[in-house]
Structure 1
């Protein structure tokens, strides 16, 4: 059995911004953009991993 692991830099913990919400206006003006940016970055990491995995699975199928 051969197990292929993703490259070390491909899967990293997602950034979790600290919330500053002291009132609703702070949440809307500061926290929401920070949360959206963190979510987008994390989603990109997941997409990169899924693309990497699909590519390697296809290569493995082509060699079988």
Structure 2
């Protein structure tokens, strides 16, 4: 992911793909809000934890958002 501040390798063969996650962008002002929208799968926990810390390199975005 070139727009990310870091990358990891995940084994998506164990996470029941395709699946849907909810993603609310908050960083850098506050934490991202990430979670399963369907049946939770514990094999997704590492990927979700990574997405919670993800900070996208966006341009033109305001960083004055209140949490």
Relative to its length, the structure with more helix (as a share) is: 1
User: Radius of gyration: which is bigger?
Assistant: 1
So what's the TM-score if we normalise by structure 1?
0.32
